[in-house]
Amino acid sequence: MQAINAQLQDTIQTLYRKAIDADATLDALQQAQKGKFKAVFADDSGFETKAKRFSPYVEEIARDWQELKTQSEEDFKAGLPQLVKKIELALKTITQFKAVSKD
């Protein structure tokens, strides 16, 4: 389980750096009167957070991970798939956003 937590920490750190860059791009788009939307992810995405930037979603992922670490190994394993799903969705969305915003 220690190896899983180390990998999660590395992934969340990478995700956070990518989110900061994506948020800067979103700020620039908003200043140019573009990118008008209410939230990055849809209501059915699995996130509780509703925000116009990526960073709050990464903060939710980090909170979920910290909470999982305090639980029993059985509960950790049960909650891990939902956490991984959020991480995958965030990484995929940021990657797609960065690809589209370069055009």
Summarised one tens digit per residue, pLDDT across range 52-90 is: 999 999 999 999 999 999 999 999 999 999 999 999 999
On whether residue 4 sits in a domain, the answer given is: no
On whether residue 79 sits in a domain, the answer given is: yes
Q: Amino acid letter at 27?
A: D
Paired tokens of 30 = 């908003």
On whether residue 25 sits in a domain, the answer given is: no
Summarised one tens digit per residue, pLDDT across range 36-54 is: 777 899 999 999 999 999 9
- Please give the Cα distance from 84 to 87 (Å, whole number): 5
Q: CA neighbours within 13 Å on the CB side: how many for 40?
A: 25
On whether residue 11 sits in a domain, the answer given is: no
pLDDT of 69 = 94
pLDDT band at residue 1 under the 50/70/90 scheme: confident
Distances (CA, A) of 95 to 7, 27, 40, 69: 19, 17, 13, 27
Q: Is 1 helix (H, G, I), strand (E, B) or coil?
A: coil
Q: Which DSSP string do the residues of 12-50 spell out, in sequence order?
A: HHHHHHHHHHHHHHHHHHHHTT----S-SS-GGGS-S--
On whether residue 48 sits in a domain, the answer given is: yes
On whether residue 15 sits in a domain, the answer given is: no
On whether residue 44 sits in a domain, the answer given is: yes
Determine the structural domain holding residue 73 and report its residue range: 39-103
Paired tokens of 57 = 């979603």
On whether residue 2 sits in a domain, the answer given is: no
Total domains, the chain: 1
